Amino acid sequence: MVLFLSKILRVFVSFLMLFSQTAPQFFELPAIPSGQEVNLDERFELVWEDEFEGDSLDMTKWNHNWWEVERKGGYWHEDMVDVRDGNLVITTAYFTDPPENYYEDYFATHPGSHEYKEGWYTACITTKGKFEQCYGYFECRAILPASSGMWSAFWMMNTHVEDVDGSGQDGTEVDVFESMYYKDNWWGAGGAVISGIHYDGYGEGQQSASIGKWWVDNPYEQYNTYGLEWTPEEYIFYINGVETGRLSKGGVSQNPEYLILSCEVAGENGIAWADRHGVGEMSMDTDETAEFIVDYVRVYQHK
């Protein structure tokens, strides 16, 4: 009987999923990318890339964690960043004793900052101050970390994102993709990512828009590409070179932005307790690790 009900429910969910392909926001179920193709060779010229071919992070291109060490339910630490086998690998792992290498310079210049404690460690890298671009096409090819409570992302920012002027034209956080639905695997949403924008800071003035959830092909086990085309008129999001959606709320950023690759652990104050924004609690045990594996980041300008 339970099996039978389960089957009925799955048929119903399949129907919802089919329907949701044309109305992803309504049912909040993911849709399959089905828009225009990006046509890279025809329309774009490669201007910046990191193929992660070396054996350490290229510090001419990237910085480690630029703003805080305690991040939601975990900690950002540069030891969690590796370059190997042609990939950037951001590992998430639990440490009873915090790793060595305490960013001494960071604590010296940020006296109020939190210290490392027992908990989940992961990482964030950014091109801030080393590479920024306005408009073009931005793509990464990645395998996502497989645990609920994990939130990996490829995104961009500039220093004006926090300026509250009723517009996103000065600067907008653009989330090319964010993955935090691993826990929703039964519904199929576990294989989905979300894309969106935020501007006018992160307080009362914050404005946001999203294109909703989109299915990715087996994102926790195989590579897929996540792309953003940024024009003066709109942001166009792509998965594997196929358009998922477009946004232009608040006006498109007209200022250069830097790139960010990050992993976060849901929670607060360094404790992974929370189901923040539906991310779920950590499903990994503390003796397990998860990897955010990035084959490349490539940036193009329109021809």
Amino acid at 170: D
| Between 185 and 254, CB nearer to Ca ion | 254
In whole angstroms, how close is the CB of 9 to Ca ion at the nearest point?
41
Beta bridge partners of 133: 257
| Between 36 and 222, CB nearer to Ca ion | 222
Close Cβ partners of 6 (under 8 Å, ≥ 6 residues apart): none
In whole angstroms, how close is the CB of 207 to Ca ion at the nearest point?
8
The radius of gyration of the chain's CA atoms, rounded to the nearest angstrom, is: 19
Exposed / middle / buried, residue 97 (Cβ in 10 Å: 0-12, 13-18, 19+): exposed
For residue 12, give both structure tokens.
Answer: 């119903």
Close Cβ partners of 236 (under 8 Å, ≥ 6 residues apart): 35, 228, 229, 230, 243, 245, 246
| Between 156 and 265, CB nearer to Ca ion | 156
In whole angstroms, how close is the CB of 153 to Ca ion at the nearest point?
19
Number of H helices, E strands in the chain: 4, 19
| Between 54 and 86, CB nearer to Ca ion | 86
**Is 263 within 8 Å of 151 (Cβ atoms)?**
yes
Phi then psi for residue 250, to 5 deg, are 80, -5
| Between 231 and 254, CB nearer to Ca ion | 254
Which position's Cβ is nearest Ca ion?
Answer: 86
Residues that bind Ca ion (CB under 5 A): 51-52, 86, 163, 165, 167, 170, 200, 295-296
Beta bridge partners of 227: 139, 238
In whole angstroms, how close is the CB of 163 to Ca ion at the nearest point?
5
Q: Residue 159 to residues 65, 124, 138, 175, 217: CA-CA distances in angstroms?
A: 15, 17, 19, 16, 34
In whole angstroms, how close is the CB of 53 to Ca ion at the nearest point?
6
| Between 143 and 290, CB nearer to Ca ion | 143
Short-list 292, 176, 149, CA closest to 244:
176
In whole angstroms, how close is the CB of 296 to Ca ion at the nearest point?
5
| Between 70 and 170, CB nearer to Ca ion | 170
In whole angstroms, how close is the CB of 196 to Ca ion at the nearest point?
16
Amino acid at 34: S
